[in-house]
Amino acid sequence: MGTQQIWRKSSHTGNENNCVELAWRKASRTEGNNNCVEVAHVPGVAAVRDSKNPSGPVLSFTQAELVGFLSAVKAHRFDG
């Protein structure tokens, strides 16, 4: 599964040059599917956001939390 990387400059940077940029990745298998998330990795944390709302909220997970979250998603524990 290939991924597409998207870089985004932090909106909290202001006029300073000490900004944070994240490489957001979305799986290539999501083409044409509107139920997508993007993931960005920083040391010790994985950030997850809705690909349809890139300026919206971001969830942050440690590696253990991300593994638990993904296991719950695969087990359909969040299905309505």
Kindly write down the DSSP assignment for every residue of the chain, as one continuous string.
--EEEEEEE-TT-TT-S---EEEEEEEGGGTT-S--EEEEEETTEEEEEETT-TTS--EEE-HHHHHHHHHHHHTTTT--
What band does 3 get if pLDDT is binned at 50, 70 and 90? very low
Global pTM exceeds 0.85: no
| pLDDT digits 0-9 by tens, 28-71 | 666 666 678 888 888 888 998 888 888 889 989 998 998 998 89
